[in-house]
Amino acid sequence: MKVIQAEYSGQLNGTVHIPGAKNSSLAVLAAACLADDQVTLEGIPCIDDVRLVTEICRDIGMEARQTGGQVVLDPRWIHSAAIDPGKASGYRASYYFAGALLSKFGSVTIGFPGGDDFVSRPFDQHIKVFEALGAKVRLYPEYYSVQAAELKGADIYFDTVTSGATMNAMLAAVRAKGRTQLHNAAVDPEVVDTAAFLNRLGARRYGAGTNTIRIEGVAYLNGGTHTIIPDRLIAGAFLMAAGLNGGQVTVMDVIPEHLTACLSKLEEIGLQLHRGENRITAYGTGKLKATRIRAGMYPSFATDLQQPMTALLLQAKGRSIVADRVYPKRFAHVPQLRRLGAEIEQRQEVAHIRGGRPLRGGWVHATDVRAGTCLLLAGLAAEGSTCITGVDHIERGYEDIIGSFRSIGAKLSLRELDEGELSDRIHMHR
């Protein structure tokens, strides 16, 4: 079993290049099915979720060649719209293949979305979109199918703001007959990026980045080249690292506007920031103030950043509280932080933190990708050595997490433990 070992690292200093966004890449890779010619994507991160997507692409006959951050896809030879249920359930965003293949072939069979488990991650708005466009959705124990003789544009109102269903609706509607309007749409940068990609292929889609998106269906889409936006969630986590012990971290190749809520909060708790055109430097002053975080949909503070932010707030003297309106139960990292000596409690879907207390190393388990970053940051600030299991979750979302944190001075290593060694270690730390 893989274990990340983190040692107390003192100040973290250095510059990190930020890769393309996982959440954009997963949508745009599936959206490439829609094209009628070759597609080249730049800035795709080398992460486990992307490896799974490229396997799915190959399974259905779409050639996908990845060289570093570049993926070349050829959708002209897709011969199947049946996706292995196990692979589809191996990550969250497989639902984009449902939207894209439905749009192009009128039929798809696919496993249910997997991904991080936050107790409840409903899928009803995706189904609502498919049905509104005229498709029939059938749910089976292991998979679902979506079929339509013809997709027709429709007016669709989302009952909740969802980035996944907004992007999926854009994919499903792009070849539908007539006009589709999406109301109460998500405005995330990943929505805008996916829309930009579709337009590059020749889609007629207007208003992405606002609450109403209009799509005029087209019969043919070209190929083309697109560069994925930088990962604002990885950038945010590295900026937080600067605050841990008063260091200085620069994130390069970012879009600072995508991080507005995060940057405001970092300044509010005492970090100094310098924003350039495509870079941000965070200076930790060594003194952090407690605060209140209410994670929400973009442009609010991102739910994917509330967990790493919690690790930083453990260093801020006083009481902080963290609530998550997107996933009110996204707090599996809280009991793990307590194993490191953190004074943190979860009461009524809010994490209450008493910060400024020393942390000590121990064994902890990452239950999801950002819980992993949270525990890693806490481990770098804890006295002694912290071992983090659940590395697979972390590798779903981070490209070379060990190398990039080491490049700013973090004492981290990846170790392989056999079952016997693992059970001895866990026993010792009980």
Task: State the CB neighbour count (10 A cutoff) for residue 183.
Answer: 11
- What is the closest distance, in whole angstroms, from the C-beta atom of residue 352 to ligand UD1 in the complex? 22
Counting contacts by CB under 6 A, is residue 164 touching ligand UD1? yes
Q: Does 258 bind ligand UD1 (CB under 6 A)?
A: no
Query: Token pair for residue 241?
Result: 């690292």
Tell whether residue 22 is among the known ligand binding residues: yes
Q: Does 399 bind ligand PEP (CB under 6 A)?
A: no
Q: What is the smallest separation between the CB atom of 215 and ligand UD1, expressed in angstroms?
A: 18
Of positions 116, 190, 193, 395, contacts ligand PEP by CB under 6 A: 116
CA 109 – CA 182 distance, rounded (Å): 25
Q: Which of 48, 49, 74, 116 is catalytic?
A: 116
**Smaller CB separation from ligand PEP, 92 or 226:** 92
Our CB check for ligand PEP shows the closer of 175 and 333 to be: 333
20 part of the interface to ligand PEP, by CB under 6 A: no
CA angle 222, 225, 231 (to 5 degrees): 130
Q: Which is nearer to ligand PEP, 24 or 315 (CB)?
A: 24
Give Cβ neighbours of residue 262 (< 8 Å, ≥ 6 apart). Answer: 232, 236, 239, 301, 302, 305, 309
Region 92-131 residues binding ligand UD1, contact defined as CB under 6 A = 92-93, 121-126
Q: Which whole-number Å values give the CA distances from 394 to 22, 53, 106, 384, in the listed order?
A: 12, 17, 35, 22
Q: Which does 397 bind (CB under 5 to 8 A by kind): ligand PEP, ligand UD1, none?
A: ligand PEP
By CB under 6 A, is residue 397 in contact with ligand PEP? yes
Question: Is-catalytic flag, 116?
Answer: yes
Is residue 369 close enough to count as binding ligand PEP by CB under 6 A?
A: yes
- Please state, in angstroms and rounded to a whole number, the distance separating the CA atoms of residues 169 and 10: 46
Residues 360, 74: Cα–Cα separation, whole Å: 51
On whether the CB atoms of residues 290 and 353 are closer than 8 A, the answer is yes
Q: Is the peptide bond before 358 cis (omega within 30 degrees of 0)?
A: no
92 labelled ligand-binding: yes
Whose CA is closest to 60, among 28, 1, 100? Answer: 100
In the numeric block, the tokens 């089976």 are attached to 140
- Asked if 281 contacts 250 with a C-beta cutoff of 8 angstroms, the reply is yes
Decide which of ligand UD1, ligand PEP, none touches 126; Cβ closer than 5 to 8 Å per partner kind.
ligand UD1
**326, 366, 408, 412: residue in contact with ligand UD1 (rule CB under 6 A):** 326
Q: Indicate which single residue of 115, 247, 284, 355 sits in contact with ligand PEP (rule: CB under 6 A).
A: 115
Q: How many residues does the chain have?
A: 430
Does residue 382 touch ligand PEP according to CB under 6 A?
Answer: no
Q: Which residues contact residue 297 at a Cβ distance below 8 angstroms, ignoring those fewer than 6 apart?
A: 161, 163, 186, 187, 188, 325, 326
Single out the residue of 103, 162, 373, 404 in contact with ligand UD1 (rule: CB under 6 A).
Answer: 162
Interface residues toward ligand UD1, by CB under 6 A: 23, 26, 92-93, 121-126, 160, 162-165, 186, 303-304, 326-327
Binding site for phosphoenolpyruvate: which residues? Answer: 22-23
What does the binding site for ligand PEP look like in residue numbers (CB under 6 A)? 91-93, 115-116, 304, 369-370, 397
Q: Which residues are catalytic?
A: 116
